[in-house]
Chains A and B, each alone.
Chain A
Amino acid sequence: MDVIFIALEQSLLLLPLVLGIYLTYSIIQITDLTVDGTFVLGAAVFARLITNSYTIGISMAAAILAGAVFGVLVSLIQHKNRIKPLIAGILMVLMLQTINLQILGRPNVSIYGYDSFVKKLSFLNDNANLALSFISALVIFSILILVLQSNLGLILRGLGDNKGLVRKLGKNTELYKIFTLALSNALAATCGALSAQVYGYTDVSMGYGVALTAIGAVIIGSQIVKIFEKKRFIPAFELLGALGGTYIYFLIINIFLFIGLDPINLKLVLGLILIIFLTFFGDKNHE
């Protein structure tokens, strides 16, 4: 039973980042790995501000804004395909390693004892982490459903389907790409700031591999959605699929650990699982 609940808590906590990846990878069909860096950026900005006596609201808002700014920057690097999205993302992650270290001042900062959303929910005792993850997931879930159901969501899906035609219809495709990457990286930063509160610390290497984890979860999710959704696009199904994919991913990790897999080998095993999923279910048309 523990395995089931731990996997649920982990999936809900990572969901903002997974949904950010869903927007870039599935909706506008760009592989953006920047979230590896903006996840830590969100955690670093939050940790830096909260330990300097800023309120949770300001620290959280600054973390989200920082993620959005770097989303815009990576989009500008990619501008008109001068640098491919994959390479631009890797470059940004590389630069963010230094930036995150500069923000934190050292590789690891504890925020234990400082104000946080977890602390605000401490009346729920052991369930505070789960409650925070659930509330944040619900809020982000609702916002994204509204976005995907709107005309904006339709244009973003159009962008992923046929960028040239969106341009021909008089829409500025670059602006929509910038918006999506900003939103995606803001979600990653939100996820980082929340993770820092749940774990009680920020570490410069805490984002290593989260982008791939999220892509894996999105791919698993898209397979689940195909079973139920058939031919129509239903935003709630799509997002629930991403949650399902994330849950299955974490369930696999926890089952491996439960049956005694040495944690040293975990990333190797997960990498192999991702290769299998990407080979059989991944979209080969991604930039």
Chain B
Amino acid sequence: MSKNILSIKNLRLKSPNSSVYILDNINLTLEEKDFLIILGGNGSGKSSLLKTINKTNKFFKGEIILDGSVPVKTASEKSIAGLTSTITQEINANLFCSMSILENFMLYNMKYNDSQRIDESMLKNHLNKYNSNLSKKINQPVSVLSGGEKQSLILALIFLRPPKLLILDEHTSALAPMTSEKLMKITAEIIKDENITCVMATHSLDFALKFGNKIVALKDGKVIYYAEGKKKQYLTKEELARYCY
């Protein structure tokens, strides 16, 4: 039987300034290699859910277990960081922009207890998989890179050592449609190749249909639709729009 990488039980999260629940009774389970799509409009709770999984939101009710045995509520920030990697829509929030590409790798590598030495030639080979321009700029500050290059770099940083759980919070939404699609394709390929468990929030019905084996739709912090396996595979755009919005 496959191990649960993420298990959420009766999750509730209150808005900091009111008594309204922004997440209300969420129950979800992700096994190894599962790819969950979270769909929903603005304010539906997508980002809040992801921020609770990686403990950015600390004060929640219910239970979130990572990698079968790590309770998010009591786990240290370091152990959460060792198990998860998050990419958000704000590109610069995922990078040290005043520092070089190489230094960014060194810092990302430090989140693991057994951090490995970053070798320049190995790094160049790794970067070539994402964007060949990056391997020519490893000693340049990240601030000189274009938006697309930065987003490719984020993927390269994250996948140098694939996480147990990858959290994507509309990570391509700030990019032009063509670049966004290209980057999503690369992301999905690596997720598949590296057998990574992933949870991705998106606005895009196209992405929601094309990627993932599970889907959940949120509205006002509640799950209003869930599908997996064949049911998810044969969903149409019209059905999805009807169910989810």
Q: How many residues of A contact B (CB 8 A)?
A: 20
> From residue A55, how far is it (CB to closest CB) to chain B in Å?
41
Q: Determine whether A168 belongs to the interface, using a CB cutoff of 8 Å to chain B.
A: yes
| Contacting residue for B110 out of A160, A167, A171, CB 8 A | A171
A170-B78, A231-B100, A232-B100 are known; give 7 further A-B pairs, CB within 8 A: A155-B107, A161-B98, A162-B92, A165-B95, A169-B81, A170-B80, A233-B103
Q: Which residue of B lies closest to A157 (CB)?
A: B99
Q: Which residue of A lies closest to B104 (CB)?
A: A158
A232 to B81, CA, bound (A): 28
CB of A231 within 8 A of CB of B139, answer: yes
- Enumerate B42-100 residues with CB–CB distance to A below 8 Å: 54, 56, 76-82, 86, 92-100
Instruction: Tell me whether chain A's interface is mostly helix, strand or loop, or mixed.
Output: helix
A/B pair count, beta carbons within 8 Å: 64
Knowing A154-B107, A158-B107 touch, does A165 contact B140 (C-beta < 8 A)?
A: no
> From residue B231, how far is it (CB to closest CB) to chain A in Å?
34
| Contacting residue for A162 out of B78, B86, B97, B139, CB 8 A | B97
Q: Determine whether A151 belongs to the interface, using a CB cutoff of 8 Å to chain B.
A: yes
A170 to B107, CA, bound (A): 11
Residues of A within 8 A of B76 (CB): 170
Knowing A158-B99, A170-B111, A233-B99 touch, does A165 contact B94 (C-beta < 8 A)?
A: yes
Q: 1/0 contact trace for B169-183 toward A, CB 8 Å?
A: 000000000000000
A132 to B86, CA, bound (A): 51
Residues of B within 8 A of A154 (CB): 103, 106-107, 110
Residues of B within 8 A of A233 (CB): 99-100, 103
Knowing A164-B93, A232-B100 touch, does A169 contact B139 (C-beta < 8 A)?
A: no
Residues of A within 8 A of B82 (CB): 170
Q: Determine whether A127 belongs to the interface, using a CB cutoff of 8 Å to chain B.
A: no
Knowing A169-B110, A170-B79 touch, does A162 contact B100 (C-beta < 8 A)?
A: no
